[in-house]
Chains A and B, each alone.
Chain A
């Protein structure tokens, strides 16, 4: 019994190098979608970039068709006809207003909620984020109502940002005003969320196990209800969070039962976090792509970094922490580093959307049926500006709803949540408001 060294080499590769996944061809595995008469579902996703960008290398003067792209956006050149640049959007609640410092904590948490960020000592309180407004409405159509991905696996100890709870700096998605959804940052953990932990079970065994799981979830819901009757307000809310979460998992189990089929992910279970950021980004977004492709979910957020991220980028020759560099004080050396990091992120994103485009879906492709927002809650990270936000909208939102390949500059102070409200509406969600939104952006679908 002498196993070849090849086995080790392969494993080391998967574990160490992060295994850029060769995307399998899943047409055969998704009978529900392939060739079906009904239109493909529309997906919405957000990529959040921390610490603002070097706007000098982002801004385009002219509205209309995209010409020569500025430096940071240059990696999008091959796919620029799918990209819409939306300028002048604002995230007002990220601003200090009467509250003072804590711009980073607020920039992230106010971005998708369009809400005031409470610094109260006793309560976490925010708003429901755009992705969750959608997931709460249509999430029951898919196995997972939404997917939250993070690309920063470690945390700082101590206080987060000037007295704001760390919950605000680390979570972009909020299911309710008080319930943040932690992003999954471990590749194996994400894999198991999507494809389960028991791929090898025989169908009958699997069905039996799923039914036991459902029964256990049912039982503990009963216990929680019993406990709840005697509690104070906050304690009751905690149990409520527990109950709704258990209920959602129960629904997931039910769906898995009714599908009765196991999706073969066509990739090996990953182990550990790839040491290079590019590999990590690719591995995690590949899995997200798989989740979209197999219609496991239609809503996703990706935190490329937490707001205030201190990740260094040695692969770019930048051993310094990201956040302090962004306090650049117009120093050209620092601005250069910021541009390099921004460009790197866009190049990874560009690869991802090119894969989306290459993924066939009926007569169309996955990108055509998606709306992917790429942006930040800060424009200039030095002075913490929360307006003129760098914002891209990629894809066509199904049925050529979006008309990409150009720039639209909006009136100053247009809430970025107006964009999210537009996306929610396209997803079939009739939300009155997304946080502080004042309407929708009709321009995105007018050519």
Chain B
């Protein structure tokens, strides 16, 4: 029978004839009979799966994915379900040999199969990539996250080609964006009538007496900058100095009164005054900063104390008098009255004609198209400028139109890779490789160095790729990678959508939210740039905090608004599962959810997502939580339904492991009036009763799953497509390399970059293309 199996499985490997070597008959069949066949049979067909028939030849290529899933379910203890009779329960040894036999057979089959790097669909630049590209090509900061509709995501990421669709609305937005970006970059348009400059800006108070705002103007011109100061220091307030700066340069210092006026007192309103200064601002983004001079103004902003005044929101006693710069206004543009610095983009006199336009547009197009533009492409852009000239536009304006054309052309907006012959696997070009690298690690276009290496065909020279990866990781542009990847892998972006109940959590506000994002991003950046082991994501005993977030965590000794590394000295926190960001996005507005948090761990940490709940499952009685019993008691009632138990027996204990953190991630020891019960017992019998023990467990028992999962997410993000069974051998290779290198994060990045899916693609085999093949 052993012979029979090997024959059918297509194995050409001679097997050592030791009696101990496991076979399908000895390792798999007994478990299938004893544990699986009772439900997964032809009659019951639980989960649409029949495991009662087990001819040995089921373990072949076409069934690899299924057996992988079966092995994973048995390994994690999700199957057999908790309500299965003891007689149906496989022993630990049986589980071990079941899983190891299946895993090694699948692995063997994988290695024998023809490697398939998959295909990435033409990718439109998403909002972040567009923004970064324009910043890197033209130095213009354009707020695409406000101006463009959201991108759809698939497989958890918004850079997956299939979901990046195009609609007329988007083209309208691209046209308008390109017009404005070109105007800012070139500055050829006449100044419009002066008016209030309207932007969606947010003035951010940094200390008791200082405020900063970032804003952009479309025209290089003079503007009246008005600084509003709000509040007073009571009737006896003494004058103070107000200092206003633009882009770090002080533009005005003036003494302002702070005494409360009679009018303000009687009307009980906020007293406001303003100060103006006229400044020249180049087109683009600027930072405005105002501060009151004096030690008492340099202190951190006191946290709101107690509750925000109850239901009506009314305040009791008038708060202690305070005064601070509140916001800025810009009025303009006005014609410059002094010499204006030359625009470095305009490297020749455009009035001299097409040759100069060509000289300027060619290097821009090379950056924008991520390759040397063809003469025809340059001619097309110059043609646009010529038509504008003919229509009566100035030379500079005509150049703007050429740039506008460049920014709405498909060569800029789409990343299209050349297809190999149908079904064939071929390396992508060096140029395409340079683009994959830059969009992976910078979410932007390649820089000069990458482009040059690709053009000289040196990017694949020995050692060069690793050198480039190192360089790119240490570049500030890698912040985009940290932000986009954590934002989606750890779902941190959802912080923008959550609305914690501020009557219960009065310290929640936009600043705290931003701090939470910053912590997780900086933590990720540290693991990345300092090449730390990825186990730090699970239990790293350090994090990044400022005073506000430290207070939120109850950690003392952190002062000031700047983030810095803080060593975690207690068991309360460690790793991303104790970050307020993660804990908040996995909670409901008014309470925690062990299900959401447990599912988060299964989905995003272990990569063993639970199957969707079956239809018509009785839902948890959410509202009774904290009133008629603790969340746990409610959950246990829910879990006693057999249909739910197979998934929840794993999901819930994990979620309960984080019950010490409230819905905005603060440490707690009670839930409403009920004491907390932390953790529980996993299906494999392992127990834990603190978040710290959960972390230890994840790190010791589940490191392989975590590594595999992170590798899969990283591969999805880097190649812009979903990961499937044909990627299993590549993922395994990456995980093996990680094990050999102490799980260093940069090893993961390097392994991805060297993997076949990143380096190659397979030709389209659908009928339409096959018919066209031959080129």
Instruction: Mark A residues whose CB is within 8 Å of B.
Output: 1-3, 5, 7-8, 11, 96, 100-103, 121-124, 145, 148, 154-160, 162-163, 165-167, 170-171, 175, 178-186, 188-189, 192-193, 197, 200, 208, 211-213, 215-217, 219-220, 222-224, 227, 230-236, 238-239, 241-242, 245-246, 248-249, 252, 269, 271-272, 310-312, 314, 319-321, 324-325, 327-329, 331, 333-334, 382-384
Contact = CB atoms under 8 A, between A and B. Distances in A.
B491 A156 contact: yes
B458 interface: no
A410 B458 CA distance: 71
Contacts of B383: 219
Contact of B152 (A165, A211, A233): A165
Given A180-B165, A249-B171, A384-B615, A1 B224 contact: yes
Contacts of B341: none
Contacts of A3: 226, 329, 331
B466 interface: no
A320 B588 contact: yes
Interface string B33-74: 000000000000000000000000000000000000000000
A220 B623 contact: no
Contact of A158 (B150, B329, B603): B603
Contact of A101 (B193, B401, B604, B615): B615
Interface in B303-329: 329
A181 B171 CA distance: 12
A158 B392 contact: no
Given A230-B775, A234-B764, A382-B619, A180 B169 contact: no
25 contacts: A3-B329, A123-B162, A124-B154, A155-B496, A157-B585, A158-B603, A181-B168, A182-B170, A200-B193, A208-B393, A217-B175, A227-B410, A230-B775, A231-B419, A310-B498, A311-B499, A319-B499, A320-B501, A320-B588, A321-B589, A327-B622, A329-B619, A329-B620, A329-B621, A331-B623
Contacts of B496: 154-155
Nearest to A251: B168
Interface stretch (B104-112, B119-127, B542-550, B669-677): B119-127
Contacts of A231: 122, 416, 419
A235 B616 contact: no
Contact of A170 (B119, B150, B162, B168): B150
A287 B427 CA distance: 51
- Interface of chain A: mostly helix, strand, loop or mixed: mixed
B272 interface: yes
A178 to B, nearest CB: 7
Q: Which 6 pairs from chain A and chain B are nearest by CB? A: A101-B612, A232-B764, A319-B501, A327-B619, A157-B493, A182-B149
A292 B590 CA distance: 41
Contact of B165 (A155, A178, A217, A248): A178
A121 B722 contact: yes
Contact of A8 (B329, B414, B418, B491): B329
Contacts of A101: 612-615
Contacts of B152: 165-167, 170-171, 180, 182
Contact of B766 (A232, A246, A272, A321): A232
Contacts of A148: 169
Nearest to B587: A321
Interface of B: 119, 121-122, 124, 146-147, 149-150, 152-156, 161-163, 165-173, 175-176, 192-193, 196, 198, 200, 224, 226, 228, 272, 274, 276, 329, 331, 377, 380, 383-384, 387-388, 391-393, 401, 404-405, 408-411, 413-414, 416, 418-419, 487-488, 491-494, 496-499, 501-504, 585, 588-590, 603-604, 612-616, 618-624, 721-722, 724, 763-764, 766, 768-769, 775
A356 to B, nearest CB: 24
A37 to B, nearest CB: 32
Contacts of A163: 612
Given A145-B168, A329-B619, 14 more contacts: A8-B228, A121-B722, A157-B487, A157-B493, A160-B153, A167-B165, A181-B167, A181-B169, A182-B150, A212-B387, A235-B419, A252-B172, A271-B198, A319-B590
Given A182-B169, A312-B501, A216 B156 contact: no
A241 B162 CA distance: 12
A182 B149 CA distance: 7
Contacts of B419: 230-232, 235
A20 B770 CA distance: 57
Given A100-B615, A167-B154, A227-B410, A220 B405 contact: yes
A175 B411 CA distance: 24
A8 B620 CA distance: 49
Contact of B410 (A208, A242, A314, A320): A242
A154 B497 contact: yes
Contact of A321 (B196, B504, B588, B604): B588
Nearest to A196: B176
Interface core residue of A213, A222, A325 (most chain B CB under 10 Å): A213
Contacts of B331: 3
A167 B154 CA distance: 8
A123 B149 CA distance: 21
A272 B202 CA distance: 11
B198 A249 contact: no
A237 B165 CA distance: 10
Contacts of A238: 121-122, 124, 161, 165-166, 414
B589 A182 contact: no
Nearest to A96: B615
Contacts of B163: 124, 165-167
Contacts of A222: 380
A382 to B, nearest CB: 6
Contact of A159 (B156, B161, B619): B156
B590 A320 contact: yes
B203 to A, nearest CB: 12
Contacts of B623: 331, 333-334
B491 A158 contact: yes
Nearest to B500: A319
Nearest to B763: A232
